[in-house]
Amino acid sequence: MARSIRQSQRWLERAKKLIPTQTQTLSKGPTQFVQGVCPVFVQRGQGSHVWDVDGNEYIDYLLGLGPITLGWNDPATNDAIKKQLEQGITFSLPHTLEVELAELLRKIIPCAEMVRYAKNGSDATAACVRIARAYTKRDLIAVCGYHGAQDWYIATTERDRGVPALMKQLVRKFEYNNIETLERIFAENQGKVAAVIMEAISVEEPRDNFLQKIRKLCTKHGALLIFDEVVTGFRLALGGAQEFYKVIPDLAAFGKGVANGMPLSIVAGKRRIMQTCDDVFFSMTYGGETLSLAAAIATIKEMQSKPVLQHLRSLGAKLKDAFNALASKYDLPVECKGLPPHAAFSFKDKDDKEDLLLKSIFVQEMSLRGILVTGAYFICYAHTNEDIAKTIVAFEEAFRIMRQALDDGNLRKFIKGTPVQPVFRRL
Ligand code: PMP
């Protein structure tokens, strides 16, 4: 079972000299795995599997943190990219693919009367916020969840160094499934809330008409409702959580799943609001980059012509149900929550707080068995029933060791490297 990660370690030493944090995406960095046991550098992917730089093979449940919906090296998206590559990448005039994709999105995303493009999910959420502030002529934003790397949002987090304290005054947090926390924000800030931005679902499912109540509150107070569909879009349903829950926001930000790994994000919304873009500054060099637009069209067409989303749902349900059944069997304080195409694992200590040591044992034991996973999983169309069966066997073996560690009381003893660290921490 031991896997050599010698090449990963060598690359890590080289990276440490030149790249702070050794990653471009915090959730992919070495601190999110058990250092000394798990791979650090990846080499290639095929279908639902990836190979690290030491040649070890893994069933991949991280999938680039969500963008891979079809699978690695998918022929449909690859062919579209190659065909466009021969024509050019980033031009100096708008390209017809921008219009073609817009016409496709208009048909599948309920709120998408107009669309604009960007690169990262963070670009799209920040644009939604700016458009909402311009449209309503108000400044305050109510947030619930993670919405990207920009100042307007990071001001609400623990890892807020470098963000002016002033920014905190412009954002208020509310709790998911707790409508009173949002009602209070509206009551205390009459006429000041520009928008509510939220994921329609992340781990908990909406209860007691939570989303419908939010829709009503926003309309009542003249604030815009923005759905952050960076994870839910092109995964939960083609048109995202707004299609799934039949609650239509005013604006929505899409990213990740739309182009099977190519960097594209989308701002979609009602026509009268999107037209604010005519005098809001939202512009970037690569917004109309054509390889990603071509990849998005090809990916969406694959999703429309094959049972991609059903597959994500049915395989995800098998994985989630097995995790929870085994958690009961081994009486572990762990749970898998969320909807089947993407769900999160929780690892709790005696005080009901996140137990990073227990999580570390899980991540380590799964990695040693050739399964790349951390605190959540994503499913893609290339995952097979055989992948799922192997993963469930690995869950059981990992859970047995976690049970042993909890019975022993000294969890650290069971971790063969440096434990997983939180992403949001005060330094
Ligand atoms: N919103 C949500 C819900 C996300 O999960 C993420 C990324 N994990 C973002 C926004 C930001 O997307 P990106 O990292 O592409 O900027």
The pLDDT of residue 357: 98
Question: For residue 255, which atom of ligand 1 is closest to its CA?
Answer: 15
The pLDDT of residue 120: 98
| 10-residue averages of pLDDT along the chain (427 residues) | 91 98 94 97 98 98 98 98 98 98 98 98 98 98 96 95 96 98 98 98 95 98 98 97 98 97 98 97 97 98 98 98 98 97 96 96 98 98 98 98 98 97 71
Tell me which residue has its CA closest to atom 10 in ligand 1. Answer: 147
Q: Does some domain include residue 194?
A: yes
Question: For residue 145, which atom of ligand 1 is closest to its CA?
Answer: 3
The pLDDT of residue 134: 98
Q: How far apart are CA 273 and CA 250, in angstroms?
A: 8
Residues 37 and 160 in one domain: no
The two structure tokens encoding residue 393: 């066997």
The pLDDT of residue 426: 52
Q: Does some domain include residue 293?
A: no
- Ligand 1 contact via 30 beta carbon (within 6 Å): no
Q: Does some domain include residue 82?
A: no
385-408 and 356-368 helices, crossing angle to 10°:
140
Q: How far apart are CA 415 and CA 363, in angstroms?
A: 10
Residues 94 and 67 in one domain: no
Domain range for 236 is: 90-288
Element (H, E) at 46: strand 42-46
Residues 253 and 321 in one domain: no
Q: Does some domain include residue 113?
A: yes
The pLDDT of residue 425: 61
**CATH value at residue 283:** 3.40.640.10
* Burial class for 252, CB neighbours closer than 10 Å (0-12, 13-18, 19+): buried
Residues 178 and 129 in one domain: yes
Q: How many domains does the chain have?
A: 2
**CATH value at residue 384:** 3.90.1150.10
Residues 209 and 348 in one domain: no
Q: How far apart are CA 389 and CA 383, in angstroms?
A: 11
Q: What angle do CA 248, 254, 255 make, to 5 degrees?
A: 165
Residues 179 and 281 in one domain: yes
Residues 211 and 319 in one domain: no
Q: Does some domain include residue 338?
A: yes
What type of residue sits at position 302?
Answer: E
Q: Tell me the CA–centroid distance for residue 210 and ligand 1, in Å.
A: 22
Q: Does some domain include residue 296?
A: no
The pLDDT of residue 424: 75
**Residue written as token pair 């107070």:** 221
The pLDDT of residue 1: 66
Is the CB of residue 197 less than 8 Å from the CB of residue 129?
yes
Q: How far apart are the first and last CA of the chain?
A: 36
Ligand 1 probe mutation, 24, 146, 378, 424, most atoms within 8 A of CB: 146
Tell me which residue has its CA closest to atom 9 in ligand 1. Answer: 148
Residues 272 and 134 in one domain: yes
Residues 228 and 281 in one domain: yes
Residues 50 and 165 in one domain: no
Q: Categorise residue 154: left if φ over 0, alpha if ψ from -120 to 50, beta otherwise.
A: alpha
Q: Does some domain include residue 240?
A: yes
- Ligand 1 contact via 125 beta carbon (within 6 Å): yes
Q: Tell me the CA–centroid distance for residue 256 and ligand 1, in Å.
A: 8
Q: Is the dihedral of CA 20, 24, 30, 31 positive or negative?
A: positive
Residues 329 and 283 in one domain: no
Q: Does some domain include residue 295?
A: no
The strands making up 49-52's β-sheet, listed across from edge to edge, are 42-46, 49-52, 57-60, 371-372
* Burial class for 189, CB neighbours closer than 10 Å (0-12, 13-18, 19+): middle
- Ligand 1 contact via 227 beta carbon (within 6 Å): no
R_g over Cα of the chain: 22
Residues 138 and 251 in one domain: yes
Ligand 1 probe mutation, 27, 122, 266, most atoms within 8 A of CB: 122
Beta pairing class for 140-144 and 224-229: unpaired
Question: For residue 199, which atom of ligand 1 is closest to its CA?
Answer: 3
- Ligand 1 contact via 147 beta carbon (within 6 Å): yes
Long-range contact set of residues 144-147: C-beta below 8 Å, sequence gap at least 24: 144/173, 144/174, 144/175, 144/176, 144/182, 144/196, 144/197, 144/198, 144/199, 145/176, 145/198, 145/199, 145/202, 145/228, 146/199, 146/202, 147/122, 147/197, 147/228, 147/253
- Ligand 1 contact via 229 beta carbon (within 6 Å): no
